[in-house]
Amino acid sequence: MVMEVLSSPGKISMSNRCFARISGFIQSNFGIKLPEVKRTMVESRLQKRLRVLGLRSFDEYGDFVFSPEGISEELTHMVDLITTNKTDFFREPSHFNYLYNSVVPELIKKSGAGMRKPLRVWSAGCSSGEEPYSLAMVLSEYAARNPGFDFNILGTDISVRILEKALKGIYREEVAEPVPQPMRKKYLLRSRSREETLVRIKPALRSKVRFRRLNLMDPDPETRTPMDIIFCRNVIIYFERAVQEEIVRKLCRRLEEGGFLFLGHSETLHGMSLPLRVVAPMVYRKEL
Ligand SMILES: C[S@@+](CC[C@H](N)C(=O)[O-])C[C@H]1O[C@@H](n2cnc3c(N)ncnc32)[C@H](O)[C@@H]1O
């Protein structure tokens, strides 16, 4: 039997068997690759769950998390800790310019999306909300200059903790620095506590974004409403190539013909056979 060892005072290490069990489960259920080099990260992120639950080893933790009780309660905490939620307002800013100047006018011209019916945008893997709120700011600016234009945004993620943060829409002021000054004034409220200055998304902007938990590995996520635009940036980078292709194929099924898919800057679809063509760096259009 592999023994749990204390590698440094107070820090519990994970056995090979337990790491294989957790990483295998995460990869097959959520797509996220956890190769051996990620073991230290997994250990340190899950360490505090052992303390909270009063467990002495990761083997005990593994037995608990995969028990019927653990699956219904502890799994949510494990997923919250394992996912990497790094994000920013206006991350990869060229995408937001392209959206405003090219994508929205093109969709209005092609199908009237945004004018005859609200434009539908999905931020898949939205983390704590910075991406969908950036989209809401840009599209609100478009609406201010183009009467009759309307939109709604769906933000989804697998992590419950991060979605709670997104729903609140409250951030440290430094986090909002990438928001262009005129938009900060229009869409954010400042509030100062003794410790820090916070900004809050104004209710009118918040009302344009809905959030819900959704696993992109689900067989056919959210099949009902077809989307005009999907942002799925810096999410599939954590998946195996075959899984990336499978997920992008599902996203394509959710996209209207002529709709646009935005990916992160290091997520290439090169060599995959998908009904998409490149229209700008990491922007794809579903074939008409
Ligand atoms: C690095 S963040 C990217 C956030 C944002 N799209 C951006 O580019 O700034 C990746 C997000 O994908 C989410 N994620 C990972 N696997 C997922 C899955 N199987 N289904 C849905 N969301 C997932 C994570 O929880 C995390 O919040």
Domain ranges of the chain: 6-82, 94-286
**Could you read off the pLDDT tens digit of each residue along the chain, which spans 288 residues?**
444 444 555 678 999 999 999 999 999 999 999 999 999 999 999 999 999 999 999 999 999 999 999 999 999 999 999 999 999 999 999 999 999 999 999 999 999 999 999 999 999 999 999 999 999 999 999 999 999 999 999 999 999 999 999 999 999 999 999 999 999 999 999 988 778 899 999 999 999 999 999 999 998 765 578 999 999 999 999 999 999 999 999 999 999 999 999 999 999 999 999 999 999 999 999 987
Matching CATH topology for 6-82 and 94-286? no
H or E element in which residue 175 lies: none
CA of 237 to the centre of ligand 1 (A): 10
82 Cβ below 6 A of ligand 1: no
32 Cβ below 6 A of ligand 1: yes
230 Cβ below 6 A of ligand 1: no
CATH 3.40.50.150 fits 94-286, yes or no: yes
User: What CATH architecture does domain 6-82 belong to?
Assistant: Orthogonal Bundle (1.10)
How many whole angstroms separate alpha carbon 155 and alpha carbon 254? Answer: 14
85 Cβ below 6 A of ligand 1: yes
Using CA of residue 192, residue 197, residue 199, residue 200, what is the dihedral sign? Answer: negative
How many whole angstroms separate alpha carbon 224 and alpha carbon 226? Answer: 7
Amino acid at residue number 16: N
Residue pair 128/165 in contact (Cβ under 8 Å)? The answer is: yes
Q: Say how many CA atoms lie within 13 Å of 144 toward its Cβ.
A: 11
pTM of model > 0.85:
yes
Closest CA to 157 of 100, 221, 107, 94: 221
